Structure formats: C-alpha cells, structure tokens
C-alpha cells in the first residue's frame, strides 16, 4: 500500500516591492537556501515532496509565481518571463542569496534567465525539463501555442473552464506524468481542490493565457535575450534532468543543453515524464545532493 503523502508546506505572504508573493518553506536549520520555481499552470506545491527529501540539506522556499497558486495577479497584469524573472530575483534578494535555484518547465526557463542575468544570486542551477525554445512539432506544445493566438486563445481558455475540474486535472496529469495511475489519490484530490479554488479567482484565465503567450513568445525571441544564448552565459554549475517519456519537452533537448551550458551535467531518466520532481522525488533529490555538494567545492569543475 502506498504511503500517505505529506501535506503541503506552510505558506506565507511576502511583500516585495510593488508585488506580494506567496511562498511555502521548509523549517529553518540548514545554512544554505534553495528556491524552487514551478511551471505553467503549476504552483509551489509541485515541489512538496522534493523539498521534503532535501530538507536536511537546504532550507527550501517554493514560490507561487505572480498570478499562480496563492499569489495575487502581478502589477499591470504582466505575465512575461522577464517579469517573472524579476519577481524571482526580488525574492532571492529578500531571503538572502546566493541560493541553489531549481526550476521546472516554464520555471526552468525563468531560472535560466535569472542565472544568466544575476549570477551573483545563484550558487547552483537545477533544471527539470526546462521549457527552452524548441520548434519541433509536438502535441503538448502545440496546444500551448494555440492558446497563445489572439481570439483563439480566449475561446480555448473559455472552453477549458467549462470542463469539470476533475477531468482537467486528469488530462493535465496524463500530459505531465509518464504513468498517471501512479499519482497518489490524495495528491489527485489536492490538485482538484486547488483548481476549483482557482476557478473562482477573477484573474485565473488571464494568468493562464498570459503565461502561455509569454512562453510562446520566448520560443521566437532572437538576440542576446534568447534563452539558449542566455544559457551559454550561465556561470553557475548546472544540473539538467530530463524524462525520456516527456510529452511536453522533447527529451533530445538534453543534447543541446549539454552542448550549450558551460558547466553542466545532464541526467536522462527512463519511464519518467515532465515532472520528475513529483514522479521520482527521491531520485531527483539524490542527483541534487550530489550537484549541491559539487557546487560547494571550489575545484569541482573539470575540463
């Protein structure tokens, strides 16, 4: 029989400049801090189990990005990746950096931008299925791209909202997990309850649509702010974890990541999908511990 999962970590609101962020934290104790950034349509609770595994190693702080989870909508309704990256930077400055920065999916893209533009705030970078630009056609990303289109996106989001929350959660888990049947019933119920709560928020649709459009825009961004060009400027030691059954980020993107980040170790996990930190938190935690340990060692790098 599967063990009953732990409840979400306690949450609190932090006023940071002109915005308010909701964060969930593990108990104080470890000297070092890790900040966890979720993906599109996710929240801080996406990191609950991994934070538990790493609680003896780092103090974990998982953020609800502006407009996501329990964080209110951002000032001016700005859901761009630049705005999200600024929010993460302000959070790290508030809690005290440098930190070990973790990002999944869209949160991985945001974390790359933070690490590239504020290297002083990032001791190490851990990316789990980061949503870096990749224009190969796939069903999951195509759905996100459609939602980013003017008029079409609003129509699709409106249709989506009319589908019962439990069915939307099942479809989301089917896309994100290699084996959705492995999700504990308690985690499923938590996700349904959270989605029903968000359905009552006046900005819920705008947040989802705004983040989807922001992510698609990044896929076509050129110049020095292109995410791959920023990845090449990341100085923090980087761990990138990819699931070989990921339906959203193509597993072969790992090969480009290995060629692009200056100091990177790539791990590819068989029979795992888009959210390895939720599917196999112990495996991800083991890899993260080794990575954090190497980041602490001045002579960690090899030619």
Rg, C-alpha atoms of the chain: 18
Cβ neighbour number for residue 275 with a 10 Å cutoff: 27
274-288 mean pLDDT? 98
267-278 mean pLDDT? 98
**Residue 200 forms part of a structural domain:** yes
- Which of 95-99, 198-202, 230-234, 297-301 shows the lowest mean pLDDT across its residues? 297-301
Could you identify the residue written with the tokens 């819920």?
204
pLDDT for position 303: 31
**Residue 5 forms part of a structural domain:** no
Q: With bands split at pLDDT 50, 70 and 90, how would you rate the model's confidence at 4?
A: confident
pLDDT for position 244: 97
pLDDT for position 296: 83
Pairwise CA distance, residues 2 & 99, whole Å: 33
E strands in 75-211: 99-104, 122-128
pTM, two decimal places: 0.93
CB within 8 Å of 175: residues ≥ 6 apart: 140, 247, 248, 274
Q: What is the DSSP letter of 37?
A: E
Average pLDDT, the chain: 91
**Residue 271 forms part of a structural domain:** yes
**Residue 302 forms part of a structural domain:** no
CB within 8 Å of 229: residues ≥ 6 apart: 223
**Residue 4 forms part of a structural domain:** no
| Nearest one of 9, 14, 214 to 110, comparing CA atoms | 214
Which CATH number goes with the domain that contains 74?
A: 3.40.50.1820
pLDDT tens per residue across span 126-179: 999 999 999 765 555 545 554 555 544 454 566 677 889 999 999 999 999 999
User: What residues make up the domain containing 29?
Assistant: 11-296
**Residue 253 forms part of a structural domain:** yes
How many independent structural domains does the chain possess? 1
- Which of 25-29, 68-72, 261-265 shows the lowest mean pLDDT across its residues? 25-29
33-46 mean pLDDT? 97
249, two tokens: 């980020």
81-110 mean pLDDT? 97
Q: Assess whether pLDDT exceeds 80 at residue 40.
A: yes
Pairwise CA distance, residues 62 & 48, whole Å: 8
**Residue 2 forms part of a structural domain:** no
190, two tokens: 């938590």
**Residue 281 forms part of a structural domain:** yes
Q: Are the beta carbons of 33 and 99 closer than 8 angstroms? A: yes
């Amino acid at each position: 029989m599967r063990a009953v999962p732990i409840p979400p970590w306690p949450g609190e609101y932090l006023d940071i400049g002109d915005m308010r962020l909701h964060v969930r934290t593990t108990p104080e104790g470890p000297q070092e801090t890790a900040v966890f950034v979720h993906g599109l349509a996710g929240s801080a609770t996406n990191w609950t189990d991994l934070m538990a595994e790493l609680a003896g190693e780092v103090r974990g702080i998982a953020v609800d990005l502006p407009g996501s989870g329990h964080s209110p909508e951002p000032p001016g309704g700005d859901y761009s990746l630049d705005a999200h990256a600024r929010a993460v930077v302000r959070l790290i400055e508030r809690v005290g950096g440098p930190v070990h920065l973790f990002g999944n999916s869209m949160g991985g893209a945001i974390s790359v931008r933070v690490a590239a533009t504020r290297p002083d705030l990032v001791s190490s970078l851990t990316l789990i299925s980061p949503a870096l630009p990749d224009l190969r056609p796939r069903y999951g990303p195509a759905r996100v791209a459609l939602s980013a289109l003017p008029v079409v996106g609003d129509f699709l989001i409106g249709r989506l909202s009319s589908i019962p929350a439990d069915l939307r959660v099942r479809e989301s888990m089917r896309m994100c997990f290699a084996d959705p049947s492995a999700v504990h019933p308690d985690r499923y119920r938590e996700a349904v309850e959270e989605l029903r709560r968000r359905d009552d928020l006046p900005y819920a649709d705008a947040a989802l649509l705004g983040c989807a459009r922001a992510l698609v825009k990044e896929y076509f961004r050129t110049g020095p702010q292109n995410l791959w060009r920023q990845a090449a400027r990341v100085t923090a030691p980087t761990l990138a974890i990819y699931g070989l059954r990921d339906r959203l980020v193509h597993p072969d993107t790992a090969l480009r990541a290995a060629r692009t980040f200056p100091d990177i170790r790539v791990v590819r996990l068989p029979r795992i999908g888009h959210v390895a930190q939720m599917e196999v938190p112990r495996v991800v935690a083991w890899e993260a511990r080794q990575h954090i340990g190497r980041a602490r060692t001045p002579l960690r790098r090899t030619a």
